[in-house]
Structures are given as C-alpha cells and as structure tokens.
Amino acid sequence: MAEFYRNYPNVKKEADRKYHIHNVNSNEPVWGGQDTDEEISAMRGILPVVIRASEILDVDAAMRAAWQEFLDHLAPLPGRQNGRTVWIKAYDPVMRGRASSLPDGNTMPMWYFDLCTLENEDPQMMEIANATFESFFHRGINAETRIGVLSKLGVAAAILGRCEDVTFLIPNQIHTQETPVLANRMTLREGAQTTGLQRLGRAADALHNALCQSVPAEPGGEPIIRVFTAWPASWDAAFTLLARGAFLVSSSMKNGHIDFIAIQPLVGGECKLRNPWGQKIKVTLYRNGMDWKKMEGSLLKFDTRKGQNVVIVREGVSPEQFKRTILPESQ
C-alpha cells in the first residue's frame, strides 16, 4: 500500500514541496477532492509502519529512504478554522459534496491510524482531535443524544479517553431508535430478511477501547497498555482482553477503584504499561504468584516470557484477594 500511494498518478509534489493527492473521495459524501482525510490519514498511518516493518524483518532496506522522504513531505491532514481548528473531509475543488464538512462519523479516519492516541505527545494534534470530536455535538452529549448504527463517534470518544461521553454514547448506540429492535437485539434496518447488528459491533469496539487500549504515541511506535482509560467510574467491571504485543490483559474496577492488572504474555517480550494509579503510586509486580519487583512512575516497563503470569497491584495490596477474578478458570 505504501508503494501504491507513492506511485499513484494523482499524488504529486507541488510548489510547496509537499505531496498532495487529487481527485479522490472521502467515504460517500465527497467525490473528487484534494488531500481527503481518509487518504492522508491512511498514508500517515501506513508509511511509518512499513518503515518499521522493514527494519524488524530486515528487508527492503533500500526503500526506507524513499518512504521516509514521502512521509516527511506529505501534505498535512485537511482542516479549517472555526474558532478552533478542526479536521475536515477534504480541500476544494471537489466534484460533489462539501469539502469543509467534518470527517464522516462512520469512518473517523484520524482515530484509526494511531494519529491521535492518548500517548500522542503533540498537544496541537490532540487539541484538534478533541475540537473536531466536540464539533459533532453542538448541544453537548447526554442521555438524549443519538448516534447512528454505523457511527464511530463512541469509539472516538473512548480513544480520546472521554469517560463522561462514553457513559452516554455506548448505551445510546445499543438502544438505537432508528429501527425497531427484535427480541434477539438484531434489527431489520434495511428491510425484511436483512437482520443486522452493526450498531452492536460499533458499541463493542467502543467498549473495548474504553476498558483497555494498547496504543503508541505515533504510527509504528511501541504500544503502551492502558486500562479503564475511558471507563466511567460509576460502572463496575472486570475484563480479559487481548492487547497488542500478544498480551492477554485482565483487570477489574469497583466503585471507581482499579483492583489489579494481570498480564499473560502469549509470546513474550517487553511489556509497557501506563500506571493506572498515577505516577506517584508505587506498585508491586508478582510473577507466577511470587513477589517479583517494586516499581513506580507513570510508565511501567518489564520483561516477560511466554506462559508467565504477571500481576500488578498497589504496594501493600495482596493479589490473593483478587484470585477469583484473575484466574477464574482455576476456581
């Protein structure tokens, strides 16, 4: 895909010494635009990853400089000023649609290429991400706010760590009013014999990101695990979910307090975990049930091996009290 974009006939380096892409679409509404949000997001997401993959696999070394030059001179994400800078679908001219409209709520491309994760260290990027998200909801978000069955706005809220918004958006998407919901929670949104559960897939995506994220600061970077990043404090929960790096992550929250984090490496390697109790809280790591090491700080880094079980708790807390939650299969 990196080579497809680099050699695409309508990608050209122009007078500003930037590569621009012409006559492309933004989802369904905008046709034939320039520097569309989906294409620029895709290129900005793919190029760092192909460079990193080339390094890891020790292949295509001769191409790295070309990919890096393309990335370094790629046009920025399209945006406009509206009091605050927000991202838009494209720049004019377009054949059809309104280029200056907000990104399509069903795709939200900037959120899906690690361009605006909570690990991102560019405050301007995160300001634009939040301003763009808020522009979808001029009246704020509450129990009456409705989002479409295909909408990724709930997912975007979770990726940005917006707990209060997640409180409403996930339930509201599940309890859609767009079409009658059948007893099995599926719908006939597109007519008879077209049973669908698209909204539940979107809600599940948002749910996963609210409970557990594994994201880098930028595309191609090292992922860092976060738990309950966008989870409302009033919702008690326990989960086991797969994170990048092949780490199976378990945790639980009760009355707004995180009990523990359990990491089961399915492959092994260095694990990076954002301390959910805060950088000033010391933690104890238990490995295979044995007291292993003390750590503190915002970012916890430790080596793992396949088959190990690592449990992290606040200093002075015994993981034994959470054993049933950590290892339900052994009870």
Judged against a pLDDT cut of 60, whether residue 135 lies above it is answered with: yes
Q: Pick the closest to residue 60 from 47, 74, 72 (CA basis).
A: 47
Q: What is the mean pLDDT of residues 15-35?
A: 97
pLDDT-based confidence at 296, cuts 50/70/90?
very high
Judged against a pLDDT cut of 50, whether residue 331 lies above it is answered with: no
- CA atoms within 13 Å, Cβ hemisphere of 183: 0
C-alpha span between 286 and 316 (Å, rounded): 12
Q: pLDDT tens, 258-268?
A: 999 999 999 99
- CA atoms within 13 Å, Cβ hemisphere of 330: 7
Q: How far separated are the first and last CA of the chain, in Å rounded?
A: 48
Judged against a pLDDT cut of 70, whether residue 324 lies above it is answered with: no
Angle at 244 between CA 247 and CA 150, to 5 degrees: 125
C-alpha span between 141 and 165 (Å, rounded): 6
pLDDT-based confidence at 322, cuts 50/70/90?
confident
Give me the amino acid identity at 204. A
Judged against a pLDDT cut of 80, whether residue 41 lies above it is answered with: yes
Tell whether omega for the bond before 103 is within 30 degrees of 0, i.e. cis.
no
pLDDT-based confidence at 328, cuts 50/70/90?
very low
pLDDT-based confidence at 327, cuts 50/70/90?
low
Cβ atoms 40, 21 nearer than 8 A:
yes
Q: pLDDT tens, 193-213?
A: 888 889 999 999 999 999 999
Torsional class of 27: left (φ above 0), alpha (ψ -120 to 50), beta (otherwise): left
Q: pLDDT tens, 110-126?
A: 999 999 999 999 999 99
Q: Hey, is 158 helix, strand or coil?
A: helix
Q: pLDDT tens, 164-180?
A: 999 999 999 998 877 78
Q: What is the DSSP string of 237-305?
A: EEEEEEETTTEEEEEEEETTEEEEEEEEESSEEEEEEE-TT-TTS-EEEEETTEEEEEE-SSEEEEEEE
Q: Phi and psi of 189, rounded to 5°?
A: -55, -35
Q: How much is the pLDDT for 191?
A: 85
Domain ranges of the chain: 1-104, 106-216, 236-330
Q: What is the mean pLDDT of residues 57-76?
A: 98
Q: How much is the pLDDT for 239?
A: 96
Q: How much is the pLDDT for 178?
A: 75
Strand partners, 305: 268
- The better pLDDT of the pair 1, 190 is held by 1
What CATH superfamily is the domain 236-330? Golgi alpha-mannosidase II (2.60.40.1180)
C-alpha span between 183 and 83 (Å, rounded): 46
C-alpha span between 202 and 173 (Å, rounded): 8
C-alpha span between 193 and 171 (Å, rounded): 26
Q: How much is the pLDDT for 241?
A: 97
C-alpha dist (Å) from residue 80 to 90, 100, 102, 114: 10, 7, 10, 21
